[in-house]
Amino acid sequence: MHFTTELDPLLIARWQFGIVTVYHFWMVPLTIGLGPLVALMQTLWMRTGNDRYYRMTKFWGKIYLINFIMGVATGLVQEFQFGLAWSEYSRFVGDVFGAPLAMEALLAFFVESTFLGLWIFGWGKLPRRIHLACLWLAVAGSVVSAYFIIAANSWMQHPVGVTLVHGRPVMNDIGAILGNNTAVAAFTHTIFGALAVGGAMLLGVGWYHLWQRRRDGIDTVGPDQRVIVGEAPDVPGRDKSDHRVWLTSLRIGAVTAIIAFAGVTITGDAQARLMFVQQPMKMASAEAACHTGTSFSLLAFGDIGSKDCAGVVNVIEVPGVLGFLANGDFNEPVKGVNELVPSYQQKYGTHLPDDAKLGDRAGSKINYVPVMAVTYWGFRLMILFGALAAFASVVALWLTRKGTVPQPRWLMWLAVSGIFAPFAANSAGWIFTEMGRQPFVVAPNPTPGGVDGVFMFTAAAVSPGVTFGEIAFSLVSFTIVYAVLMVFEVRLLVKYIRGGVAAAIPELGEKPKDPDAPADDDVLAFAY
């Protein structure tokens, strides 16, 4: 018995997946992007003994942890929700998709969480080298986990390494799945995207504190506009070393963001080239390219969301560029949506099967064109926000070349708002690539020699036994809980950022300790 008379759970199940996943992927890139930078700071401290790097490690480590835990908490939902709301999907892909998830837990999450625990509580307890190694291991765990989950996602974009047995994909080559070219491109793209998030964070916060120091009259500039560093004994942590903490943070952040943007561009280009072959419809709809041609659209008007190209008018087009992006040739045309639809219909059918499991969706017509307003603008916003962050980083490096930031408040606000640009770029990119795969949850592999017949429609993936009401309940619960937790996370981040180094090293404001005195081994260096 299925609850087919009720409202269709498909749409809200998709909204739920979108909301919890996009939310989760606000915490993840900050974790992946900030982690290696904190580890770098601690390594520099080990190498140079310079107090500035110690302070940076402590401060940014605090910010890292406040964010990290939210990624952990919301990550649980990620793993459970396939079985919860997408049981048909789980049954169909389980032979392939579960393996990278299990590997992620066993080979990456354990490393990440165990060694991070050692790092948090190991200050002053573990030998310094081992303590640092723990952080590097935790960071490596995050990165490796990203690889596994992206390999799983890339299999949904481009299934490889399987054969079809009784209509179900069965793994026959784990190497092909983990070495999927789609995964390699998406992984590197994601890591650079995450580094951009970490970089922009360092830049924005560094700028804020340098600005605050000038505003408080601690730092001034001489006639040559060079900074004259001062100190404020009445404010904990606002000493001379504090200035270097923020300037170095800003510079590391800006350089990271610039490198990240270069990396994102190169890997994104590689990814797009693959996608033109592997998911031509996604790229055509990213361009709102209704007709076959070589032009790259800079601005399109009309009803892009109409899903059928009827009302789309490309206002500004650059001839040749699309052909070049896809094929490396300005004259090689790229297939448009109007030409792709019939070939999709011929290969994958025009209607969903008449299967009782599909409820009211059984036998309905399949629309092969993704929501073009989302793919078109998602693609462009991703590039725009990414480029903005990189541009801002170059400008920031120039403006701070004499050792501090300019005085205007609006520039400070611009630098702080710049923190959000790479976040937005990351979200837009994922929304584009996931929405662009629709109506498939597992896109077919059209490359010659690819596995025929392995694909799944999103409409067939939702749990048949789960009702609209159940998903509505969880959607509302998760959304409310996530929104409330976001308020707490942001409040804490703001509080600790405003607190500066003294917030992370409370003893800074107190009388200096003799570094050679034996530490009180009974007192925890860190305690909840």
In the chain, % helix, strand, coil (3-state, to 5) comes to 65, 5, 25
Task: Give the binding range for other proteins (CB under 8 A) out of 86-94, 314-322, 381-389, 428-436.
Answer: 86-94
User: Does residue 352 belong to the site contacting other proteins (CB under 8 A)?
Assistant: no
User: Does residue 354 belong to the site contacting other proteins (CB under 8 A)?
Assistant: no
Q: Using an 8 Å Cβ cutoff, are 346 and 404 in contact? A: no
Q: Using an 8 Å Cβ cutoff, are 393 and 399 in contact? A: no
Task: Give the binding range for other proteins (CB under 8 A) out of 1-9, 189-197, 278-286, 313-321.
Answer: 1-9
CB within 8 Å of 338: residues ≥ 6 apart:
290, 291, 292, 309
Supply the minimum distance, in Å, between the C-beta of residue 382 and other proteins.
28
What distance in Å separates the CA atoms of residue 412 and residue 437, rounded to the nearest whole number?
Answer: 39
- Comparison of 163 and 350: residue with beta carbon closer to other proteins: 163
Supply the minimum distance, in Å, between the C-beta of residue 440 and other proteins.
19
User: Does residue 117 belong to the site contacting other proteins (CB under 8 A)?
Assistant: yes
CB within 8 Å of 61: residues ≥ 6 apart:
38, 42, 504
What distance in Å separates the CA atoms of residue 154 and residue 325, rounded to the nearest whole number?
Answer: 21
Q: Which residue has the tokens 């930031």?
A: 405
Q: How many CB atoms lie within 10 A of CB 491?
A: 11
Q: Per CB under 8 A, which of residues 217..236 are in contact with other proteins?
A: 217-218, 232, 234-236
- Comparison of 188 and 474: residue with beta carbon closer to other proteins: 474
Select from 44, 63, 85, 421 the one that contacts other proteins (CB under 8 A): 85
Supply the minimum distance, in Å, between the C-beta of residue 168 and other proteins.
10
Q: Per CB under 8 A, which of residues 356..395 are in contact with other proteins?
A: 357
Q: How many CB atoms lie within 10 A of CB 140?
A: 17
Cα distances (angstroms) measured from residue 224 to each of 37, 227, 240, 451: 32, 9, 20, 67
- Comparison of 57 and 87: residue with beta carbon closer to other proteins: 87
Cα distances (angstroms) measured from residue 120 to each of 131, 240, 380: 9, 27, 40
Q: Per CB under 8 A, which of residues 157..186 are in contact with other proteins?
A: 165, 170-172, 174
Q: Per CB under 8 A, which of residues 197..216 are in contact with other proteins?
A: 209, 212, 216
Q: Characterize the bridge pairing of strands 162-165 and 168-171.
A: antiparallel
User: Does residue 1 belong to the site contacting other proteins (CB under 8 A)?
Assistant: yes
- Comparison of 269 and 510: residue with beta carbon closer to other proteins: 510
Maximum pairwise Cα distance, the chain: 82
User: Does residue 499 belong to the site contacting other proteins (CB under 8 A)?
Assistant: yes
Region label for 239, one of left (φ > 0), alpha (ψ between -120 and 50) or beta (otherwise): beta
Select from 7, 101, 387, 416 the one that contacts other proteins (CB under 8 A): 101
What distance in Å separates the CA atoms of residue 103 and residue 476, rounded to the nearest whole number?
Answer: 31
Positions of E strands within 204-348: 220-221, 227-228, 296-302, 312-318
Task: Give the binding range for other proteins (CB under 8 A) out of 34-42, 119-127, 249-257, 290-298.
Answer: 119-127
Task: Give the binding range for other proteins (CB under 8 A) out of 338-346, 367-375, 419-427, 495-503.
Answer: 495-503
CB within 8 Å of 410: residues ≥ 6 apart:
none
- Comparison of 315 and 525: residue with beta carbon closer to other proteins: 525
Select from 473, 483, 490, 519 the one that contacts other proteins (CB under 8 A): 473
Shortest CA distance to 335 belongs to which of 302, 300, 374, 368? 368
Task: Give the binding range for other proteins (CB under 8 A) out of 32-40, 301-309, 392-400, 498-506.
Answer: 498-506
- Comparison of 441 and 471: residue with beta carbon closer to other proteins: 471
Select from 53, 60, 109, 376 the one that contacts other proteins (CB under 8 A): 109
User: Does residue 142 belong to the site contacting other proteins (CB under 8 A)?
Assistant: no
Task: Give the binding range for other proteins (CB under 8 A) out of 182-190, 262-270, 381-389, 492-500.
Answer: 492-500
204 alpha carbon, distance to own chain's centre:
18
- Comparison of 13 and 340: residue with beta carbon closer to other proteins: 13
- Amino acid sitting at position 181: N
Cα distances (angstroms) measured from residue 255 to each of 242, 394, 510: 20, 8, 34
Select from 36, 206, 280, 500 the one that contacts other proteins (CB under 8 A): 500
CB within 8 Å of 308: residues ≥ 6 apart:
369
Q: Which residue has the tokens 């908490």?
A: 73
522 three-class SS = coil
Supply the minimum distance, in Å, between the C-beta of residue 290 and other proteins.
39
Supply the minimum distance, in Å, between the C-beta of residue 124 and other proteins.
12
Q: Per CB under 8 A, which of residues 19..78 are in contact with other proteins?
A: 65-66, 69-70, 72-77
Supply the minimum distance, in Å, between the C-beta of residue 73 and other proteins.
4
User: Does residue 411 belong to the site contacting other proteins (CB under 8 A)?
Assistant: no
Select from 39, 93, 150, 283 the one that contacts other proteins (CB under 8 A): 93
